[in-house]
Structure formats: structure tokens, C-alpha cells
């Protein structure tokens, strides 16, 4: 069975409902525009935003992998996934909090360029419930490793002038912090529609 050519596991502290994977060459930092309430993997040039299933303060585990070709399915426990393309100017990626005050680790791609980015996680609704329930008893202590992400990178063909798969917009701080609310609202609308049928 094929294996990744590089990987790293990091503990990431979630404070505002998401974390960033950012190329060291990013200047100035960009902020992704949400395409829909169910988006949780967002990309712009040199930046990936990964949204947690919950806005609760917790520490999640992120496993990053670099592959030479499309990775095989990771198997049980990774039921949910989203895939994007992203262009990285240096290929040196910092994993950090939204305020860029805390770096949780650095991951090295082989070369700069365009990459497919595929993130896997478990059932987000179940994860949100577990995190919300754990927060009731956690007090001031962070909740550890209820949520996990597997983030895989492999080379993508270059398309001149089209490096991103998600639109960009000027800094809109409320949009990043409200992604969990957007997800919940969309789910609630779908549930109400199902209940009335």
C-alpha cells in the first residue's frame, strides 16, 4: 500500500472556531469568502482556513501529509471530506491561530506551486455535540482531541492566473468567527424542512 512521503501531527488550539495553514510568503494575509454554510475547508493563494465543527475552546489534532499522487481513501473514522486547490509561493506552511500570535507547527511541501488539498474529518454534527457537551464540564480548561483532521497535499497542474478555488475578499472578521453558526443555521433549516414533510 502506498504511503505519504512526509507527515506531521500537531496539536492545534481552537479559540475562534478555526485555524490557518499559511505559506510563509503570504503578504498581506488574505481572508477567504464563504461560498456556502457547509464550507469548512477554504482556500486562497498561500492560505487554507479549516473550520472546527464547534466554536468551543478546545485542542484538536491535525495530521498533515504530503503525497506524490492522489492518496487512497484513509478508511474508517474519516467519513467527511472536502477538497480544494491552493497555490503556495514557498511551500513552507505554518499552522497557526487566526490572530497569528501562536504557531502550532510548520509543514514542508517539497516545492512551491499548486497543490490539491483534501481534508478529512469525522461526522461534524456528532463532533459538535461531543464538544458542546464536554464544554459544560470543562470550565476554564481546554477540551483535548475530540476533533481530528487529516489534511493531505499532492501536486496539481498549474493554471496561469487561476491559483485559487475559493474567492477572496477584504478582511471580514465576523465571517470567519460565524462559520459554525452558519453551519448550524443551514442544518436547522434542513431539519425543519424534513420534519414538515
Q: What are the pLDDT digits (tens) for 143-162?
A: 899 999 999 999 999 865 54
- Residue 182 scores a pLDDT above 50: no
- Residue 194 scores a pLDDT above 80: no
For residue 131, tell me if it sits in a domain: yes
Verdict on whether the full-model pTM lies above 0.85: no
Task: State the pLDDT at residue 29.
Answer: 67
Task: State the pLDDT at residue 1.
Answer: 57
Place of cell 492566473: 161
For residue 169, tell me if it sits in a domain: yes
The b/e string for 83-119 (b: 16+ C-beta within 10 A; e otherwise) is ebbbbbeebebbbbbbeeeeebbebebeeeebbbbbb
Residues contacting residue 95 through CB under 8 Å, at least 6 positions apart: 10, 12, 19, 20, 21, 62, 64, 103, 104, 105, 106, 107
Grid cell in block for residue 20: 490557518
For residue 146, tell me if it sits in a domain: yes
For residue 101, tell me if it sits in a domain: yes
Task: State the pLDDT at residue 37.
Answer: 62
For residue 196, tell me if it sits in a domain: no
For residue 100, tell me if it sits in a domain: yes
Q: What is the CATH number of the domain that holds 181?
A: 2.60.34.30
Q: What are the pLDDT digits (tens) for 39-69?
A: 899 998 999 999 999 988 899 999 999 999 9
Tell me the average pLDDT across 172-184: 37
Query: Following CA atoms 180, 145, 123, 75 in sequence, which dihedral angle do they give, to the nearest 10 degrees?
Result: 140
Task: State the pLDDT at residue 180.
Answer: 40
What is the number of alpha carbons within 13 Å of residue 49 lying toward its C-beta? 30
Separation CA 53–CA 127 (nearest Å): 6
Enclosing domain of residue 112: 6-191
Total domains, the chain: 1
Separation CA 162–CA 160 (nearest Å): 6
For residue 178, tell me if it sits in a domain: yes
Separation CA 138–CA 152 (nearest Å): 31
For residue 1, tell me if it sits in a domain: no
Amino acid at each position: 500500500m502506498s504511503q505519504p512521503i512526509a507527515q506531521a501531527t500537531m496539536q492545534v488550539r481552537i479559540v475562534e472556531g478555526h485555524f490557518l495553514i499559511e505559506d510563509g510568503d503570504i503578504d498581506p494575509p488574505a481572508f477567504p469568502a464563504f461560498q456556502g454554510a457547509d464550507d469548512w475547508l477554504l482556500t486562497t493563494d498561500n492560505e487554507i482556513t479549516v473550520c472546527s465543527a464547534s466554536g468551543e475552546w478546545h485542542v484538536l489534532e491535525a495530521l498533515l501529509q504530503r503525497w506524490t499522487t492522489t492518496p487512497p481513501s484513509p478508511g474508517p473514522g474519516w467519513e467527511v471530506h472536502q477538497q480544494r486547490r491552493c497555490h503556495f509561493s514557498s511551500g513552507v506552511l505554518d499552522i497557526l491561530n487566526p490572530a497569528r500570535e501562536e504557531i502550532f507547527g510548520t509543514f514542508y511541501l517539497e516545492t512551491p506551486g499548486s497543490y490539491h488539498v483534501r481534508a478529512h474529518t469525522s461526522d461534524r454534527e456528532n463532533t459538535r455535540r461531543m464538544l458542546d457537551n464536554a464544554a459544560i464540564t470543562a470550565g476554564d480548561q481546554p477540551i483535548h482531541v475530540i476533533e481530528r483532521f487529516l489534511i493531505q497535499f499532492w501536486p496539481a497542474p498549474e493554471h496561469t492566473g487561476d491559483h485559487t478555488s475559493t474567492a477572496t475578499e477584504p478582511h471580514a472578521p465576523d465571517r470567519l468567527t460565524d462559520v459554525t453558526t452558519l453551519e448550524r443555521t443551514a442544518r436547522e433549516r434542513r431539519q425543519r424542512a424534513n420534519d414538515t414533510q
